[in-house]
Amino acid sequence: MNPRMVPTIVPETRGGNRVDIPLGLNYHIPSGALAGHRLAVEMALPVVQDPSGPQLETDWILTAEWQKVF
C-alpha cells in the first residue's frame, strides 16, 4: 500500500469539488393521525466531479425523509 494515498498523511488527497442538480418532492400531511408530519424524497445527479485524491465518484444520490414539524 502506498502511504502517500492515506488522506491523514497527505492533506492534498482530501476533498475536491462536486456540483449536483437535485430534484425533490415534499408532502405535508395537514390533518389526521399524522398531522404535522412531512414526507420527502430527493434525487441528485452530479454535473461536475473533481475529486482531489483517491475518492470514488458519485453516480447518483437518493434521499428519503420522514419529518415531524413542531
Residue 64 in contact with residue 25, Cβ under 8 Å? Answer: no
Domain count, the chain: 1
Tell me: the pLDDT tens digits for 14-61? 788 999 999 999 999 999 999 999 999 999 999 999 988 778 899 999
Whether 17 is covered by a domain: the verdict is no
Structural domain boundaries enclosing 69? 22-70
Whether 39 is covered by a domain: the verdict is yes
pTM: 0.71
CA atoms within 13 A on the CB side of 39: 5
CA-based diameter of the chain, in Å?
Answer: 59
- The helix/strand/coil state of 1 is coil
Whether 49 is covered by a domain: the verdict is yes
- Nearest CA-CA partner of 65 in 46, 48, 43: 43
Whether 60 is covered by a domain: the verdict is yes
Phi, psi of 31 (to 5 degrees): -150, 170
Whether 16 is covered by a domain: the verdict is no
Whether 54 is covered by a domain: the verdict is yes
